[in-house]
Amino acid sequence: MKAPFGMSGQSMTEYAVICAALAAALLLPMPGSQETVSQFLCDSIREFYSSLTLFISLP
């Protein structure tokens, strides 16, 4: 079935807008700090892994 005229690129446009918004949310600094969301996420994972390895190494 062929899409009506003008509606054939709507999905690609929506996908591009969502990807751009997600990239901006991950790369722009958070309000009130100079840290981006991706930096905060990496720091949180690093801290969790450090705590986990300390817990595992306990007798």
Q: Report the domain count for the chain.
A: 1
Contacts 24+ apart (CB under 8 A), 27-34: none
Residue 23 maps to a domain: no
CA distance 55 to 58: 5
> What local confidence, expressed as pLDDT, does residue 8 receive?
65
The whole domain housing 57 covers 32-59
Q: How confident is the model over 1-58, as pLDDT tens digits?
A: 666 665 667 888 999 999 999 999 888 888 888 889 889 999 999 999 988 888 888 8
Residue 27 maps to a domain: no
> What local confidence, expressed as pLDDT, does residue 9 receive?
77
Residue 44 maps to a domain: yes
Residue 17 maps to a domain: no
Q: Tell me if 36 sits within 8 A of 28, measured CB to CB.
A: yes
Residue 20 maps to a domain: no
